Amino acid sequence: MAGGEKELEFQKIFQVIQGARHRFNKHGGIEAWLKFVFRRWFLIEEFLLHEGIDAFWTFDSDTLILAPLGVRESRFRDVEATAQCRGECLNGWIGSRDLVDRYTRCMIELFKDPAYLDAQRERLRTHAGLAFNEMDAFGEFRRRRGIAVRRASEVIDGEAFDDALVFVGDFEVAPENVLGKTAIKRLWTDGDSIFTKKKETGQFVRMLTCNMSWMPDYMWKRIIDATRGGEDENRGTRAEGCVREESLREISVREPVADRILRQAKGAVFRMRRALRVG
């Protein structure tokens, strides 16, 4: 999909700005990925124009949406959008196409600003494992334009949109690590919804989304199975505090035996092939 004249302008001025130790192994390599994280907003803008869409929701492709979104839009009418990634990225509810237009214009403005780009290069001498990306641009966009946003992870009416299961924050931590190495929020289910729990207050919080970054396949299946399709859109939202704790069961993060055997077998094959190539 083409992004229009503005996207063509971005393509001409885009450049990779990264620290000396920045490494990236996703398909296409560093330049393709860094260009994509900016360019996708130009493509989204063109799609919105083509389809006549104004306000909308957007989440990363590794996010499970566990409840209807439309009935929760009114919570954010006093801001222009929500932010995720610990408040560093534009994500979740976007209140207008105009906001996207201003964001993409700001991206172009930043790539045309030599002093700003030099400041990024200087920053990345210290933070050498990072690169200038769309989250940095969003932070600068907020500062320059005074954009009012709310973190989607803020608990409202006992519910929140998850930044990522691995971002534990002030929630309880699962008693075991995923694959023996990754700590995540402690999770419960009542058979329809997913809950986590505040560490200090003991409040159960219903998760409207789960960001599954760095999660193995079995955790995806476990959460999907635990929700049985999630909330019925015609049923409305739950009142705050109505969760019955006696109805909850904890979701285990322990790897199934079959998955572990398969993972270990794949690892052994990979090591054998690597040894043969080296030999």
**Structure tokens that stand for 229 in this block:** 């399709």
Helix then strand count (H, E) for the chain reads: 7, 10
Q: What is the pLDDT of residue 236?
A: 47
Residue type, 164: A
Q: What is the pLDDT of residue 28?
A: 77
**Structure tokens that stand for 169 in this block:** 């924050």
**189 bridge partner residues:** 194, 249
Give the whole-angstrom CA distance, residue 4 versus residue 229.
38
pLDDT in tens, 90-123: 999 999 999 999 999 999 999 999 999 999 999 9
Helices 29-51 & 97-111, crossing angle to 10 degrees? 140
Q: Give the β-pairing of 149-151 and 81-84.
A: parallel
Helices 4-13 & 97-111, crossing angle to 10 degrees? 30
Q: Could you tell me the residue ranges of all domains in the chain?
A: 4-61+76-151, 159-264
| pLDDT one digit per residue (tens) for the chain, 279 residues | 566 899 999 999 999 999 999 987 767 788 999 999 999 999 999 999 999 999 999 999 999 999 999 999 999 999 999 999 999 999 999 999 999 999 999 999 999 999 999 999 999 999 999 999 999 999 999 999 999 999 999 999 999 999 999 999 999 999 999 999 999 999 999 999 999 999 999 999 999 999 999 999 999 999 999 997 555 554 445 544 467 888 999 999 999 999 999 999 999 998 999 888 876
Residue 68 CA, chain-centre distance (Å), reads 18
Q: What is the pLDDT of residue 41?
A: 97
* First vs last C-alpha separation in the chain: 45
Q: What is the pLDDT of residue 2?
A: 65
Q: What is the pLDDT of residue 143?
A: 96
Q: What is the pLDDT of residue 234?
A: 45
